[in-house]
Structure 1
């Protein structure tokens, strides 16, 4: 069936999570420099990365219900402060500023422009809080491209369960078979979308190869997706 919509994961698909954390860490170090004995962005980044784990936090490392609060707690415990900010202030700092420091994946803007000009319907389907999804998209300047922005919080169900993908196709007014999903996670994104009847492509390089089936369609960079869609209904050497 002809593809009429392209649905995206967010972290490590349209935004590079590690580069975004690096940008956020620099900003936090500069902002709180007057309160720190040493404002080291690399130390901050290591703390955030340990807890965030590429957007897939280990529940055992979360001291609080959210990544933002857990990061705030760790920063208060591990950085050398001569005057500590309030825990709630540092928690809200994450929610206010992480999205505005999101770094786009290479080729993301160009791909979205091509897809919009070609009249594909576009959607985000991403696990996490809805406000954080919106903040990241606003920080990237991508919000206006999308016909639907769906978080696990707003849908009441998380990837890889098929219900969130089916909800997305319903929001777009399309059959699942008319939707192509792209994401970085072989289970949450690819297997989840395929299980809902969608087509799916893995953006390779963020998770171990052993996690997904050998016959999974894969690309190494986003511009290959446009070549894939521009080919004879997806048959091209640019996709494995």
Structure 2
């Protein structure tokens, strides 16, 4: 049965985080190259990728957020001619990283196909509202998204069922009328499934826990979901 709405995670679902980081590293290098001994953006990219950790702060991190981890580590580890304070680097990240976002391959095609079928589009994402909104604006998706729900504003984070239920409620739908697509096995797939949505795991970014029963639905790319609607097929089992 086709859904009434499809909700998406943002990072590593509608956006490709590694490609976005690489783009931001180039922007950062151009902004600070006169103050740096670095000859290109490679080390900047490597530091951000390590500290970003796929968009999830490690449990043992001494920092309170990814933006703090990235900015403080860039300030301390890069080879500076004119050292920059962490706050200066943080301000640059806040102002420029969301707008460096790069769409996941197939995202536009999938969203347009869903819209053609009269299916509502939503985003449910852990993170700060300002960065979610700026990212969607940079991706030219703001006008296509019917609901954008973020943990900072809502007060609950995925995998809590409450944030998934709230997304469905805002569209006047039941959870079982909605699909959810995301890359994280716990926060996205298990969270949406426990909330009563049909969950689809986007593989390739986070490993499936070995102790778990295999996921019911998974895809290797967003293009596979587009094909479900163009060919009227269901998601294939993992």
For Structure 1 versus Structure 2, the TM-score category normalised by the shorter chain is over 0.9
Does 1:201 pair with 2:200?
Answer: yes
Is this contact kept in 1: 2:7–2:181, CA < 8 A? yes
Give the CA deviation at 1:73: 1.0
Deviations 1:79-138 (A, max 9, x none): 111212343221111111111111111111111111122211110001111111111111
Aligned residue for 1:141?
A: 140
Task: Give unpaired runs (5+ residues) of structure 2.
Answer: none
Give the CA deviation at 1:213: 2.9
Does 1:96 pair with 2:87?
Answer: no
Aligned residue for 2:131?
A: 132
SS state of the match for residue 180, structure 1? strand
Post-superposition, which runs of at least 4 consecutive aligned residues in structure 1 deviate over 6 A?
none
Aligned residue for 1:187?
A: 186
SS state of the match for residue 49, structure 1? helix
Is this contact kept in 1: 2:182–2:200, CA < 8 A? yes
TM-score normalised by structure 1 residue count = 0.92
Q: What is the rounded CA distance, in whole Å, between the counterparts of 2:10 and 2:234 in structure 1? A: 25
Aligned residue for 2:24?
A: 24
TM-score normalised by structure 2 residue count = 0.93
Task: Give unpaired runs (5+ residues) of structure 1.
Answer: none
Give the CA deviation at 1:2: 4.3
SS state of the match for residue 228, structure 1? helix
Aligned length: 237
Deviations 1:39-86 (A, max 9, x none): 4311111111111101011143343x3322221111111111121234
Aligned residue for 2:108?
A: 109
Is this contact kept in 1: 2:57–2:65, CA < 8 A? no
